[in-house]
Amino acid sequence: MHPVIFNATLEEILNLVGTFAFAESGALLAVRKNYDIVGMAVLALITAIGGGVIRDLIIGAHPPVAFTNANYLWLALLATILTFFAHPLLNRLNVAILVFDAAGLAVFCISGAIKALAYGLGPLPAILLGTLTAIGGGVMRDILAQDPPAVLRSGSELYALPAALGATIIVIIAHFAVNDSLTVGLTAVFVFVLRLLALRYHWRGPRPRRASDTR
């Protein structure tokens, strides 16, 4: 495999964007659930750092970056306060939650796959870890808030697939050493747009035939 040298600044930018976006999705869901400001901060923080913590625990990066770089925590708290005061400006909470969630998904599948490659994981494990990093925070958010997880909902639109595709693209461009900022940025945009299009046009994966007896 080629040595994987991604731009460290680029990686941090992706992580900061994803942290803010996921924190917003958590804080806004907390508003919809009528939690108080402490509950908003808890849900924002867990959504924002959850996926990255899973990623770092699995590759053995101790302590996870959210516990070494306090910027991620401040950013999530900032998103909470912003949401506390400004959420009435968003006239559709659920749409806003989905858009921020899609942005987090788009950048974290990339940062997860990049870090997995940097730690020497093979292609398929890197794709899996990218996907887990992308969906981990949202899964924790939905389970804590007692919503059906976005990633597993009968009748829900493509969610894990855009993330897995984004991670796959990163693994491929790293292999061909074309992993510059432009291709990485375009991959993030691709995942983001794909998820939004899936939501807009209700794209779903094929379903197994229903068994006559589903006892």
Kindly state the smallest distance separating residue 176's Cβ from its own copies, in Å: 20
Round to whole Å and give the CA distance between 105 and 99. 10
112: its two tokens: 């997860």
- Name residues contacting its own copies, limited to 120-159 (CB under 8 A): 121-122, 124-125, 128-129, 135, 139, 143-146, 148-149, 151-156, 158-159
Could you say whether residue 70 binds its own copies (CB under 8 A)? yes
Could you say whether residue 68 binds its own copies (CB under 8 A)? yes
Closer CB to its own copies, 8 or 211, in the complex: 211
Closer CB to its own copies, 5 or 57, in the complex: 57
Could you say whether residue 114 binds its own copies (CB under 8 A)? no
Could you say whether residue 103 binds its own copies (CB under 8 A)? no
Could you say whether residue 88 binds its own copies (CB under 8 A)? yes
Round to whole Å and give the CA distance between 164 and 2. 21
Round to whole Å and give the CA distance between 185 and 103. 12
Do 47 and 22 form a contact (C-beta atoms < 8 A)?
A: yes
Residue 176: partners with Cβ closer than 8 Å, 6 or more residues away: 2
